[in-house]
Structures are given as C-alpha cells and as structure tokens.
Amino acid sequence: MRVNPVGTVEVLTGSHSHGQGHETTFAQLVAGRLGIPIENVAIVHGDTDKVQMGMGTYGSRSGAVGMSAIVKALDKIEAKAKKVASFVLEAAEADIDFKDGKFSVKGTDKSVDFASVALQAYVAHKFTGEQLEPGLKEGAFYDPTNFTFPSGVHIAEVEIDPDTGVTTIAKWTAVDDFGVIINPMIVEGQVHGGIAQGIGQALLEGAVYDANGQLLTASYMDYTMPRADDLPSFRVDHTTTPCPSNPLGIKGCGEAGAIAAPAAVMNAVTDALGHENIAMPATPQAVWLAARASFAKAAE
C-alpha cells in the first residue's frame, strides 16, 4: 500500500479482478478507513511488473483473504501516519486520534488531514531521520486462520411441460449469509451470476463426446449456455452474521449461487416428477423420459 505525498493511495494486491469488482470494493474499504475520496484510491492487480505475488481469485476468498491483507496494511499505514501526525501536531503519539480522514490531538481542536500527513511523511521537515524513517508505504500478507462458513437457502420454483419435457424456472428466491458485506450491489451481482451458472449446469450445459472421443458440443451452436430467456429475475436477499475468523467479518460469496442452484433445481425437478433418477443436465429429453416413466408407474 503506497500512500503518495499528495494523499492518494495505490494498493497493489495479489487478488486479481476479472469482473468481481475488486477495484470498487477494495477502494471502498481503503477510502472509508482513511477518510479520503474513493477516486483517490487506485487498485493495482494482475501486472507482475508491479505486483510481486498473487494467486488469483478463486474459492470465494478475495473478500475474506485479500481484504484482510489490506486491513493489515491499513493498520500499519495508520500507525505510521499517527507517528508522523504526532510530530506535525507536536503532541504525544498516544494522544493522536484518527477519524474521518483527520488526525487530531485528544481534547483539543488541533488537527491535520490525511493528505498533509502523507506529504510530511515524505518531506520529513517535522522530524529527523533518527526519530522516524520517512515515507508512508507498507505491505502485509495474510494467512487465514480458518475457513469462512457462508450459508443460505435458495428456492427454485420450476414448471415442467410433460408433453415436451421443457423445464422453466418460474421463480427464484435466495437468502444468503455472507457475513459483513462491503458492497451489496456487487455481492448480489455475484449471486445472480452464480445462480445462472448453476441453472445452466442443472438444465442446459453438458460436454458431449461421441464414441470416438470427438467433442460434439464444440461451439455455442451445440453447447447450451443459459440465455436471458432461459432465466427469470432473481429475488436475492441476505442476513448478516459476522464471520469470527477475519478482521472484517466477511464470508465468501462468489460461488454461493453456483453451489446452491444445481441442488435447488434438481430437487424441484425430482419433486415435480416424483422420479429421482435424473442426471444433470436435465434436458427436455431426459425430463420427458422421466415424466413418461413416472406416468407409467402411476398407471400400474
């Protein structure tokens, strides 16, 4: 985490973003903590010229693990900045408070803003090199102490046409507990995408090979991706039980939809058909055959 002399901040993170919105969520965290405008925070990722080490974004961990590392770096930045502020404000370090982007001396109206402290950290006019090493740049690594345990319920309401075997998702309701949420819009977006992927897995998507090993589903002509008219809008909500094992109380969210959706869809399909032997993807043909088997059994 590099604080520039003008008070802008660059965060070099090993958590790569390819659509998960880290540039927004991570910046929100840093801007909120330092009391600076969000546009003053740059999130740098995915460039090995700049970021020394990264292991990507996977396992719903960038919030819980990546942001915990950012919190640790923020702790160090704040501690160092307090030292600088104590020289600027000519007060004991223990008497310095930091709130809303301002360092102030307890019980007085003396204060200095974050950007001024950043500049003083580098120009070092208020302290000597012996008293304090100039600069405001810190790094942190974070190794999780435990897994996070998100939980939730997804309810799929499906309609099956027994004549054609086509399954329609009529309604979707999901409530998840991701612990503390920094950006609800982004988290909901992750859930939407996961549900769509899970529905695709349950009903549409499958890699099909012929007997000679030739892939038959080699393009989107044959591999059935979920399209907009295969899906409903989703009703998504959350409860908040902070995670005890990381500083922000965050649990993983990225995979939630894709974990819950296949099970919810297949439970709904088997419930509708009274037939448990349906493999994913439950294509119209598979559902039609299963429906016929159920009807035949009922007629006996």
Partner 1 sequence: MPKVSMTVNGKRVSADVEGRTLLVQFLREHQRLTGTHVGCDTSQCGACVVHVDGKAIKACTTLALSCEGANVITIEGVANGTELHPMQAAFRTHHGLQCGFCTPGMIMAAIDMVNRLGTDLSEETIRHELEGNICRCTGYHNIVKAIQAGAAAMGGMKVAAE
Q: Which is nearer to partner 1, 226 or 262 (CB)?
A: 226
Name the β-bridge partners of 106. none
- Residues 262 and 195: beta-carbon distance below 8 Å: no
CB of 233 to partner 1, least distance (A): 5
Show contacts with partner 1 in window 237-276 (CB under 8 A). Answer: 257
| Per CB under 8 A, 197 contacts partner 1 | yes
Number of residues that bind partner 1 (CB under 8 A): 26
Q: Identify which of 125, 33, 110 has the alpha carbon closest to the alpha carbon of residue 77.
A: 33
| Per CB under 8 A, 21 contacts partner 1 | yes
Helix axes 256-273, 184-199, angle to 10 degrees: 40
Cα separation of 196 and 187, whole Å?
A: 15
| Per CB under 8 A, 20 contacts partner 1 | yes
Q: Which is nearer to partner 1, 53 or 228 (CB)?
A: 228
**Which of 189, 206, 247, 249 is close enough to bind partner 1 by CB under 8 A?**
189
Q: Which is nearer to partner 1, 79 or 216 (CB)?
A: 216
Sole window of 69-77, 133-141, 190-198, 268-276 interacting with partner 1 (rule: CB under 8 A): 190-198
Show contacts with partner 1 in window 24-83 (CB under 8 A). Answer: none
**Which of 85, 105, 196, 243 is close enough to bind partner 1 by CB under 8 A?**
196
Cα separation of 250 and 69, whole Å?
A: 13
Helix, strand, coil % over all residues of the chain, rounded to 5: 40, 15, 45
Take residue 173 and report the two structure tokens written for it. 């309701």
Q: Which is nearer to partner 1, 22 or 275 (CB)?
A: 22
- Can you list the positions of beta strands (E) in the chain? 2-3, 9-12, 41-44, 96-99, 102-105, 111-113, 151-160, 167-177, 235-239
Q: Identify which of 133, 97, 136 has the alpha carbon closest to the alpha carbon of residue 7.
A: 136
Residue type (1 letter), 132: L
| Per CB under 8 A, 225 contacts partner 1 | yes
Sole window of 50-58, 98-106, 132-140, 216-224 interacting with partner 1 (rule: CB under 8 A): 216-224
| Per CB under 8 A, 212 contacts partner 1 | no
Residue type (1 letter), 138: E
CB of 42 to partner 1, least distance (A): 18
**Which of 210, 233, 296, 300 is close enough to bind partner 1 by CB under 8 A?**
233
**Which of 220, 296, 298, 300 is close enough to bind partner 1 by CB under 8 A?**
220
| Per CB under 8 A, 231 contacts partner 1 | yes
Which residues touch 70 (CB under 8 Å, ≥6 apart)?
1, 11, 13, 26, 29, 30, 140
Query: Site map for partner 1, 108-147, x if CB under 8 A?
Result: ----------------------------------------
- Residues 62 and 45: beta-carbon distance below 8 Å: no
| Per CB under 8 A, 90 contacts partner 1 | no
Q: Identify which of 268, 60, 240 has the alpha carbon closest to the alpha carbon of residue 173.
A: 268
Q: Which residues bind partner 1 (CB under 8 A)?
A: 18-21, 185-186, 188-189, 192-197, 219-221, 225-229, 231, 233-234, 257
